[in-house]
Structure 1
Amino acid sequence: MIGLIGILLSLALLIVLAYRGLNVIVLAPIMASIAVIFAGAPILATYTQVFMPAMGNFVVSFFPLFLLGALFGKVMSDSGAALRIAEWVVRRVGGDKAILAVVLACAILTYGGVSLFVVAFAMFPIAAALFREARVPKRLIPGAIALGAFTFTMTALPGTPAIQNAIPNPYFGTDGFAAPGLGIIAGLIMFAGGVGWLTWRSRRAAAAGEGYDDGPLMTTGADSAALTIDLGDDEGPGAAPRGEDGTGTQPEAGGTLTAVRERDLPPLWVAFLPVFVVIGLNLLLLRVVFPMMDTSYLAEERYGATELSMVQGNWGLIVALATAVVLAFVLNWRRLANPKKSFNSGTTASFLPIMNTASEVGYGAVIASLAGFVLVRDAIMGSSDNPVVSTAIAVSVLAGITGSASGGMGIALEALGQDFQSMAASAGIDMELMHRVTTLASGGMDALPHNGAVITLLAICGLTHKQSYKDVGMVAVVIPVVALAVVVALGSAFGAF
């Protein structure tokens, strides 16, 4: 019982201190040490023989994905390709449908491999201009961006290059296209439910006479990043302006969406081609190329004594992202103000995210090694005879506790992944269903108020939790949990499809 108290205390401190901004890389091993002390286990041995190997194994497995993803996001942002895609979507959908335009633009960018943080920074100025023109309350912008960037493109759509869709691969021998039918159903629930909610909220605000920024607590600093864009011909001008600080300029009086450009954006095909390569090449490799290859050498010890199914998920993403990065650099070389800086900045931007997640995985490995964790494991495993339900509960709870989709999933799979796999195999459950449920479960409860992406998004938009979290919580927590429940029910009844 004392060991269990130590585990709960360390988890509580991890939540509170991470929410207050302490770095998880250092915080996680310290909090793990508290649980170790309560359990009476040796601290140094646990740190060097349990924590560090688990942390290192995660880095070894997923560093290429973090690195290439960060590089891709950087070149798409610096070249203006991300803005070009966003502008095109806005023109096609129409400025009068501001919410739908923002959601779709964010979805295309994140599904194409652009980091959700890059998307948030790139989309806010566009969203501010659209919402101002359409007289949609500014407080709904975080919900629209979160819906497009943090939900169905992160966990549901088959083939999404998000790290949350890659982490289950080595645990279940699957790839990012696992259970595509169930993923699409979940994605449609999130998309339709989220857009429906935000539209309803917008109409209620309009009926009450609320405009873009009528809220009494509305901050004004972030509005300096708003911009004016052109809703005319999709091949014409219309880029986000860049002020001296690089953040943009204030819209013209009245919010008219007029073209203001200080640099050329790439042609539409140049902007979209790397995005198509990420998804298309990954699918081609997984379904055609890799199965045709002779990979018998993987059984050798020097290659990890494994098999193709355990590594092909990561292989496909590595090749697809690497190709997209090279292609994006080649096509946009002259548009990059400083290609060397973009390359170096993208590289260094990958370090903190992977180390944060890896440190949380190390924390999970320590907790799983303690005697008190038996009670936690038995409670989770005893929550249902259905391993699909148990997996959904475990990943959801840990993602909510840590405020991190990848972190919560990493902890759950590090601690219970083998148990989940064994239970599913014994019950004859398809590992593709386990993969999709695990991924979906990571993307619901993670977006509670202490989630780092939520906090960053609100800061970008210059809004508070009080003003905007109700809508973020509905589209990024409540509706994704409903989608997860539907997939669990369908998967339990009909299997993976």
Structure 2
Amino acid sequence: MTVLLILLALGLLIAGAWAGLSVLVLAPLLAALAALAAGEPVLAAYTQVFMAAAGGFVVSFFPLFLLGALFGKVMDASGAARILASAIATAVGPANALLAVVLACAVLTYGGVSLFVVAFVAWPLARALFAETGLPARLIPATIALGAFTFTMTALPGTPSIQNAIPMATFGTTPFAAPGLGVIAAAAMLGLGMVWLLYRARVLAGDTPPQMHPSPPRNVPMPLWAALVPILSVAAVTLAMGWVVLPALETEYLALPLYGGTDLGRVGGLWSVIAALTIALVLALVLGRPPQMMKTLNDGAESALLPLFNTASLVGFGAVIASLPGFEVLRQSLDGLSGGNVVVTAALSSSALAGITGSASGGMSIALDVLGPSLLEQAMAQGVDPALLHRVVSVATGGLDTLPHNGAVITLLGICGMTHRQAYGDIFMVAVLAPTLACVLIMGLGMALGAF
């Protein structure tokens, strides 16, 4: 019965998000209703489970959301993001407008720009290219989603995304875990997504192109190299921190209770990404010199709050669901489907929770909080490299997370002025189905060949 409650709560969350209700309201309300229906103490479920999980997520990952939002806002305000996107579109050519938008989004997100910012930046570029080439406007959200929500978020090694950072603390890995499998997963997502978009463009040929509007004025354009350097620095600094700087430091103090009784292996990956985004932000400020710098930084800081608290609210919802008796039944069913294979267990559990919460980072946080230690123990017992679990969990959560109640989907559709009914079907194909198939592919390769 409680399993049905979980499914009902998920269905109501999706329906509410489809109708346009904020997950900040929906998530705690539905969590409370689910707890009440399951016979659990509602107030305790809210204050001790929901808020504890939501607050823990904010405490752990606030720096990444803040730095990512600041960096993205500076890149946008200085015109650097638009210069990069336009340069890629010019290089690829108008005839390849779909690929141009995808690659522009991919470069920006892999460089550390928040996908929410990328959506705002890519919309005017996509609108112009689609109008010029006669492509159907309803494909714009899916095209942006393919470039920003998929392979650069979970698969490409070294990406500074939160989804690539969370597994590092549990598995003691780096942002470059299982790089070969990550590249293969990324290629599969990009390939499958482009096949679908090109097919749909042919089917929908003749749809009315989007209405053109003048772009807002920008400051004097900077040279391309100045726009590119901050992006390139993210990967370079992440590598340098992980391979050179951090290993040379004395970090025995991390074992003290004051610092959580941890070690460099648990926090080194997160430190690397924080350092990389900080340096990229400084470079973007120095080279881009955005107008009204103080206002830009203030706006960037404020823009971090909505995605952070949306995700935290979904994490709280998922934590309440995970505390219900029916969740244990659901977890045992997933374990049964996995046949005891730790790779399959990790993928199924993290994917299911990402779907329940509508958030890759939220679902991953709950899955690793609840199952992380046991997954690591099973991996050691089965001779599975933790790097394989890192990459599989990351890619697995980047599929079902993009259901209709996902905050990024709702934001993207709002930016493009479209409804779920108009555009979500294509988003599902490129950002749910393609990543899921890519995950199955690397799971098979990883179990057969190990992490590489």
| TM-based fold match above 0.5 | yes
1:480 is paired with a residue of what secondary structure? helix
Matching of residue 307 in structure 1 with residue 306 in structure 2? no
CA distance in 1 between counterparts of 2:137 and 2:419 reads 11
* Aligned counterpart, 1:485: 440
Report % sequence identity: 55
* Aligned counterpart, 2:331: 377
CA distance in 2 between counterparts of 1:355 and 1:337 reads 28
CA distance in 2 between counterparts of 1:16 and 1:200 reads 29
Matching of residue 475 in structure 1 with residue 430 in structure 2? yes
| Structure 1 residue 344, shift from structure 2 partner | 0.5
Distance 1:449 1:361, change over 3 A: closer
Matching of residue 120 in structure 1 with residue 75 in structure 2? no
CA distance in 2 between counterparts of 1:295 and 1:404 reads 33
| Structure 1 residue 196, shift from structure 2 partner | 2.7
Which one is further off, 342-351 or 8-17? Answer: 8-17
CA distance in 2 between counterparts of 1:11 and 1:102 reads 32
8 A Cα contact 1:364 1:412, kept in partner: no
Matching of residue 433 in structure 1 with residue 388 in structure 2? yes
Residue by residue over 1:244-293, the C-alpha shift from the partner in whole angstroms, topping out at 9 and shown as x without a partner, is: xxxxxxxxxxxxxxxxxx64221111111111111110111112221222
Q: 2:415 aligns with which of 460, 463, 470?
A: 460
* Aligned counterpart, 2:449: 494
Alignment of 1:347-366 (within 5 A): 347-366=301-320
Distance 1:21 1:426, change over 3 A: farther
Q: TM-score, normalised by structure 2?
A: 0.93
| Structure 1 residue 386, shift from structure 2 partner | 1.0
Structure 2: which amino acid aligns with 1:416? L
Alignment of 1:415-426 (within 5 A): 415-426=370-381
Structure 2: which amino acid aligns with 1:402? T
Q: TM-score, normalised by structure 1?
A: 0.85
Q: 1:284 aligns with which of 240, 247, 257?
A: 240
Residue by residue over 1:82-122, the C-alpha shift from the partner in whole angstroms, topping out at 9 and shown as x without a partner, is: 00101111111112211111111111011111111221221
Residue by residue over 1:41-75, the C-alpha shift from the partner in whole angstroms, topping out at 9 and shown as x without a partner, is: 43444433333332222222111001000000100
| Structure 1 residue 154, shift from structure 2 partner | 0.8
Which one is further off, 196-205 or 426-435? Answer: 196-205
8 A Cα contact 1:65 1:163, kept in partner: yes
Residue by residue over 1:322-346, the C-alpha shift from the partner in whole angstroms, topping out at 9 and shown as x without a partner, is: 111122112222xx23111111111
Matching of residue 265 in structure 1 with residue 221 in structure 2? yes
Structure 2: which amino acid aligns with 1:454? V
Residue by residue over 1:219-238, the C-alpha shift from the partner in whole angstroms, topping out at 9 and shown as x without a partner, is: x6xx243x6xxxxxxxxxxx
* Aligned counterpart, 1:42: 41
2:166 is paired with a residue of what secondary structure? coil
* Aligned counterpart, 1:253: none
Alignment of 1:319-334 (within 5 A): 319-333=275-289
8 A Cα contact 2:131 2:212, kept in partner: no
Residue by residue over 1:376-411, the C-alpha shift from the partner in whole angstroms, topping out at 9 and shown as x without a partner, is: 221122221212112212222222233322222233
8 A Cα contact 2:193 2:430, kept in partner: yes
* Aligned counterpart, 2:160: 161
Alignment of 1:128-139 (within 5 A): 128-139=127-138
* Aligned counterpart, 1:242: 216
Structure 2: which amino acid aligns with 1:446? D
| Structure 1 residue 39, shift from structure 2 partner | 4.1
CA distance in 2 between counterparts of 1:136 and 1:46 reads 49
Note the residue ranges of structure 2 that are not aligned, 5 or more in a row: none
Structure 2: which amino acid aligns with 1:101? A
CA distance in 2 between counterparts of 1:119 and 1:4 reads 37
Alignment of 1:1-20 (within 5 A): 1=1, 3-20=2-19
| Structure 1 residue 150, shift from structure 2 partner | 1.1
Which one is further off, 94-103 or 362-371? Answer: 362-371
CA distance in 1 between counterparts of 2:216 and 2:49 reads 49
CA distance in 2 between counterparts of 1:141 and 1:5 reads 36
* Aligned counterpart, 1:248: none
2:337 is paired with a residue of what secondary structure? coil
Structure 1: which amino acid aligns with 2:373? Q
| Structure 1 residue 204, shift from structure 2 partner | 4.8
| Structure 1 residue 7, shift from structure 2 partner | 3.8
Residue by residue over 1:143-186, the C-alpha shift from the partner in whole angstroms, topping out at 9 and shown as x without a partner, is: 22111111111111011111111122222222221111100000
CA distance in 2 between counterparts of 1:42 and 1:201 reads 49
Structure 2: which amino acid aligns with 1:242? P
CA distance in 2 between counterparts of 1:25 and 1:470 reads 25
8 A Cα contact 1:171 1:417, kept in partner: yes
8 A Cα contact 2:315 2:357, kept in partner: no
* Aligned counterpart, 2:356: 401
* Aligned counterpart, 1:202: 201
* Aligned counterpart, 1:255: none
Distance 1:115 1:44, change over 3 A: same
| Structure 1 residue 80, shift from structure 2 partner | 0.4
Question: What is the aligned length?
Answer: 451
Residue by residue over 1:413-442, the C-alpha shift from the partner in whole angstroms, topping out at 9 and shown as x without a partner, is: 333333323322322211111111111111
Note the residue ranges of structure 1 that are not aligned, 5 or more in a row: 228-240, 244-261
Pairwise CA RMSD: 2.2
Distance 1:266 1:494, change over 3 A: same
